[in-house]
Chain A
Amino acid sequence: DTAVSQTPKYLVTQMGNDKSIKCEQNLGHDTMYWYKQDSKKFLKIMFSYNNKELIINETVPNRFSPKSPDKAHLNLHINSLELGDSAVYFCASSQGDGSPLHFGNGTRLTVT
């Protein structure tokens, strides 16, 4: 009965590799997000999708490509991983203005 689930929980990989993180929500929300949390816990929005359409794309390298096959899923693919990509990535969803965000438990990405 998990509301927002993302996999994997941990991801350790080498520089230059390509990896994906998957996210699914069963709340029926129209909008999904990807956030990056750095080592100081600062949260930065990366992307936002509403009904499978991209509505926010912050200043993120184009090595990061979100894909939304349907409004319940928002996956994140990262090409040519770099050391600076190491962080915790959170998927989230919400429904309408004034509604809170619901977060997944995060994927800790470590690039070596």
Chain B
Amino acid sequence: GNSVTQMEGPVTLSEEAFLTINCTYTATGYPSLFWYVQYPGEGLQLLLKATKADDKGSNKGFEATYRKETTSFHLEKGSVQVSDSAVYFCALRAYGQNFVFGPGTRLSVLP
């Protein structure tokens, strides 16, 4: 079946540090890939998405590139802020199938 693996957290960084959260997936066919962010006490919000190989999704300074050869969709940001502290979820959806979420990675950014 389809699955998503994320790096285990928590990840703790200082403000303005570079962020990478690794995500790899297993799926049949060509799934769409997503990153969601969950701030404390809130629901999950779509951060970015990519629907085909080599697509780059970007939003709010975050980026992720759909790499079919390595089945990866790593999330990156060049300079994190305290306000980026949240839980980040990688997810996929293959055609005609349900969403599959990774376990989430908690990010804490210290001032």
Contact = CB atoms under 8 A, between A and B. Distances in A.
A47 B37 CA distance: 22
A49 interface: no
A66 interface: no
B90 to A, nearest CB: 11
Interface in B29-65: 32, 34, 36, 38, 41-46, 49, 51
Pick the most buried of B34, B87, B98: most chain A CB atoms within 10 A of its CB.
Answer: B98
Interface of A: 4, 40-43, 45, 48, 56, 90, 92, 94, 97-98, 100-106
Interface residues of B, number: 24
A33 B88 CA distance: 20
Contact of B93 (A4, A41, A92, A97): A97
Given A98-B32, A98-B93, A42 B104 contact: yes
Nearest to A6: B43
Contacts of B98: 45, 48, 56
Closest A-B pairs by Cβ, 6 of them: A103-B43, A41-B104, A105-B43, A103-B44, A100-B46, A98-B32
A42 B33 CA distance: 18
Contacts of A102: 46
A98 B42 CA distance: 24
